[in-house]
Amino acid sequence: MAAHNLVIVESPAKAKTINKYLGPDYIVVASFGHVRDLPAKNGSVDPENGFAMQWELGERSSKPLGEILSNAKKVDTIYLATDPDREGEAISWHITEYLKEKNIAEKVSIKRVAFNEITKAAVQEAFKNARDVDKNLVDAYLARRALDYLVGFTLSPVLWRKLPGSRSAGRVQSVALRLICEREAEIEVFNPEEYWSIEALLATKEGKAFTSRLSSLDGKKIEKMTINNQAVADTAVGRIRGEGRPNDKGQAYKVATIDKRQVKRNPYPPFITSTLQQEASRKLRFGATKTMRTAQSLYEGADIGGETVGLITYMRTDGITLSGEAIAAARKFIENKFGDKYLPESPRAYKSKVKNAQEAHEAIRPTDIFRTPESVAKYLNEDEAKLYELIWKRRSPSTSSTMTARSFFTRRALLSLSTAF
């Protein structure tokens, strides 16, 4: 039986996963990213003519577009299932324009579907709510692409003349370079000041070692710049050791006061693209490219027990909101694993601090909170398992938001002791 529907996605991996959810009446093919771009020559964007833009097919677009065109002639409906962001919307628009040029668009129904996670339920729900291509998102893409072109073609020739060997300038890196240069200028005029801190390696009665910092001298609190040269530091150390006094073996150390208090810690908000990259760099030593490549793999899906499912939601997002279903699943997980005692009365609500954030998408989260890192690790490679665990732990609340452990307060007391002279 011939298929009546064509689904166009961006990557072959995504095509393979979605194909399993839709059945034999759907053909799923990949566009392999963008299919058209502006030619690298003058006149591709014309500011004097309403910023008219000239497009050409990409170098690697012939084969995927040939497959799309061949299948488009056989079906009744075409579903554009590219990524749910501005770039994905732009790819859908480019494909639609290409099909118009080939006189295919008027013969078939073209619909846009978008989903933030590649799971069977999410994909099927998206197909039930198919829509038209979002012209506002396309216009945003066109404005950004025109700026890329106009800024690059204006600045790059100047750069080549002034700095032979330079490659190009652009809308983003030119501004970033200015910020770096201004910061470097501030560093160059900075006047460094010397300061010292004094620490002692001590131990509790039980023999547990810890480091304590000198916090007061002669009854006065030590500020950052109090000990401002080696001579002052050596004098302080000598007094602590009892040097110069034959019968003095050094000062005695004791806990002067114990400060007990409850410390409440709120969990961090769910990951957005930038915070995921930062944490992956800090904790996993992943570069930004590696983080996004690994996240893309988790998003597109892994074979878990014979079923291919996406493990995380879409990883390019500024939004820190979560769906009602995800929040309900997290609360159920807390209740099952930790009990009612640790279940908040109401879900936490986070607000983005990012100016002009594009919050159309959810934060980055596991598609199923009950898929723990331990349960899926055997289906993933090492990098995927590490990143999934990072995302899962960020998504999952800690067992307690209050720290009252005695060892914590004792350590704080010891670290804040002062030596009397």
Q: Specify the number of domains making up the chain.
A: 3
How many H helices and E strands in the chain? 13, 16
Report the share of the chain in percent with pLDDT over 70. Answer: 89
Question: Do 288 and 396 have their domain in common?
Answer: yes
53 within a domain of the structure (yes/no)? yes
CA distance 267 to 347: 12
Answer whether residue 71 shows pLDDT above 90: yes
Answer whether residue 415 shows pLDDT above 50: no
pLDDT at position 307, please? 80
Q: For residue 315, name the pLDDT band (cuts at 50, 70, 90).
A: very high
The token duo for 185 is 């200028």
- Between 21-30, 56-65, 78-87, 160-169, the lowest mean confidence (pLDDT) is in 160-169
146 within a domain of the structure (yes/no)? no
* CATH assignment at residue 284: 1.10.290.10
Q: Which is more confidently placed, 79 or 173?
A: 79
Question: Do 17 and 129 have their domain in common?
Answer: yes
The token duo for 178 is 């200015």
Question: Do 256 and 340 have their domain in common?
Answer: no
207 within a domain of the structure (yes/no)? yes
76 within a domain of the structure (yes/no)? yes
Question: Do 135 and 12 have their domain in common?
Answer: yes
pLDDT at position 304, please? 86
Mark whether 253 is an active-site residue: no
Question: Do 278 and 346 have their domain in common?
Answer: yes
Answer whether residue 410 shows pLDDT above 80: no
Q: Which is more confidently placed, 409 or 16?
A: 16
Q: Which of 26, 79, 314, 388 is catalytic?
A: 314
Q: For residue 58, name the pLDDT band (cuts at 50, 70, 90).
A: confident
pLDDT at position 397, please? 43
Question: Do 348 and 245 have their domain in common?
Answer: no
Question: Do 128 and 251 have their domain in common?
Answer: no
DSSP state of 396: S
Q: State pLDDT tens for residues 365-374.
A: 999 999 999 9
42 within a domain of the structure (yes/no)? yes
Q: State pLDDT tens for residues 387-400.
A: 999 999 986 443 33
Sign of the CA dihedral with 237 first, then 241, 244, and 248 last: positive
Distances in whole angstroms, Cα of residue 257 to Cα of each of 215, 407, 412, 416, 418: 13, 15, 10, 9, 10
pLDDT at position 246, please? 58
Q: What is the 3-state secondary structure (H, E, C) of 123-186?
A: HHHHHHCCECCCHHHHHHHHHHHHHHHHHHHHHHHHHHHHCCCCCCCCCCHHHHHHHHHHHHHH
Q: State pLDDT tens for residues 250-295.
A: 556 777 778 889 988 888 899 999 999 999 999 999 999 999 999 9
* CATH assignment at residue 81: 3.40.50.140
Report the share of the chain in percent with pLDDT over 90. Answer: 48
pLDDT at position 88, please? 93
Question: Do 54 and 107 have their domain in common?
Answer: yes
- Over residues 49-64, mean pLDDT: 91
30 within a domain of the structure (yes/no)? yes
Q: Which domain holds residue 255?
A: 199-263+407-415
pLDDT at position 90, please? 95
Q: State pLDDT tens for residues 329-366.
A: 999 999 999 898 888 888 887 776 665 555 567 899 99
Q: State pLDDT tens for residues 122-131.
A: 999 999 999 9
369 within a domain of the structure (yes/no)? yes
pLDDT at position 216, please? 82
Which stretches within 57-134 are classed as H helix? 62-72, 86-101, 120-128
pLDDT at position 390, please? 97
Answer whether residue 121 shows pLDDT above 50: yes
295 within a domain of the structure (yes/no)? yes
- Domain boundary residue, one of 89, 121, 140: 140
- Domain boundary residue, one of 140, 156, 183: 140
Give the pTM: 0.73
- Domain boundary residue, one of 91, 112, 140: 140
Question: Do 241 and 281 have their domain in common?
Answer: no
Question: Do 209 and 277 have their domain in common?
Answer: no
CA-nearest of 270, 263, 217 to 420 is 217
Question: Do 235 and 303 have their domain in common?
Answer: no
Q: State pLDDT tens for residues 87-105.
A: 999 999 999 999 999 999 9
pLDDT at position 251, please? 58
Question: Do 243 and 298 have their domain in common?
Answer: no
The token duo for 403 is 């720290």
pLDDT at position 249, please? 56
